[in-house]
Structure 1
Amino acid sequence: MITKQNKIPSRSLLKQDEASFHYIDSFQSQAVVDGEQNDIQHIAKLLLSSGPAWIDTLMAIRDQLVKLVGLKTSDLHKAKQQELDELKFELGEQLGIFKLYARSENELILGKDDKHLDFRVSLLLDRPNAETTQKKIAITTAVQFNNLFGRIYFVPVKPFHQLIVRRMLKELVRKARG
């Protein structure tokens, strides 16, 4: 089961900047993943290598539309295994369509900045306590609108965004649980 909140999880690196964002959503798995092999890098690779084909189609349509108004396109492609194996998870590194802005042992902060809005995505493995290897996965999105166009742009994007994140988290948990 997936739950949704409109706040940043308390253990997230994004929490300190929560007041600066205009939009926040956080989708969290209630199912747990277990095992030390499910570290944040492994979970990120699962996320980057998966996703239904209809998401690629939506992103391709979006890219064609935003190109007309001079916004950045996603340069979308599913990460190949070789590319995933070469990831170092260093700050500033491109992870698929995202740039890595921050990291901790259990979290990656990815995102992109553009003239209309900046966004950050937190991929967080939330461990209830240090004595367990069980973790819940949370995907949190935080958006800062840079102008009126950013707010207008996000109106039709928001429902698709929520659908995509919910679907990807469900698939991510399934893959991580084996």
Structure 2
Amino acid sequence: MDGIPSFTELYRYSDNAYFADNYTKEIDCQGESAMEVYLRVMNSTPDWVNKLMKIRNEVVSRMGLKHLGNLDDFYPKKTADDYQIGDKVGIFEMIYKSHSEVIMEDRDKHLDVKLSFFVEPHGDKALVTASSVVHVKNNFGKVYMFFVGPVHKIIVPATLKKL
């Protein structure tokens, strides 16, 4: 894990982050956009991650946090080109989109979470950089991140591995 790479648009949001992580993975790639890679990752979320999300949703909804659904919940199904800034994409809202990077966000009264996928092509391969930044707004957000932070460091590499 490293800091948020300065070549990403997400870097602009990383000042004073309570939590930040960054993972890279080389994948086979034929010029796919960051959004296409993001959708590929979300649509191949490991079953155990969706089970953890279900448990998370049941527990935190009793405490006043919103029920997020699963990472691979996409209604309606769209192509990568169909998604626009402001669209809901699974559990996140898209706030930035270029061919090489997509940034998704989820905000509530406790946290502001941003997730970036940056794709750097190299011939028939690409280096995918998945980065996350979390800004905590209150003590409840800190408690939540105490439990979620360590799990997040397992989920992201496991999800990228499926690529």
* Fold similarity call, TM over 0.5: yes
Higher CA-based Rg = 1
Greater share of residues in helix: 1
> Which residue in the other structure is 1:43 paired with?
37
> Which residue in the other structure is 2:20 paired with?
24
Q: Give the direction of change, closer, same or farther, for the CA distance of 1:20–1:69 in structure 2 (3 Å limit).
A: same
> Which residue in the other structure is 2:150 paired with?
159
Please report how far the alpha carbon of residue 35 of structure 1 lies from its aligned counterpart in structure 2 after TM superposition.
Answer: 2.0
List structure 1 runs of 4+ shifted beyond 4 angstroms. Answer: 79-82
> Which residue in the other structure is 2:58 paired with?
64
> Which residue in the other structure is 1:9 paired with?
5
Paired AA for residue 76 in structure 1? N
- RMSD of the TM alignment (CA)? 2.1
| d(CA) in 2 for partners of 1:77, 1:39 | 19
Which of 84, 109, 116 aligns to 2:110? It is 116
Q: Secondary structure at the match of 2:86?
A: coil
8 Å CA contact 2:86–2:93 kept in 1: the answer is: yes
**Within the alignment, does 1:96 sit opposite 2:87 as a pair?**
no
Q: Secondary structure at the match of 1:27?
A: strand
Aligned residues: 163
> Structure 2 length as normaliser, TM-score?
0.90
Q: Give the direction of change, closer, same or farther, for the CA distance of 1:170–1:81 in structure 2 (3 Å limit).
A: farther
| d(CA) in 1 for partners of 2:114, 2:74 | 23
Structure 2: gaps (5+ residues): none
**Within the alignment, does 1:105 sit opposite 2:99 as a pair?**
yes
> Which residue in the other structure is 2:29 paired with?
34
Paired AA for residue 99 in structure 2? E
Q: Secondary structure at the match of 1:105?
A: coil
8 Å CA contact 2:42–2:72 kept in 1: the answer is: yes
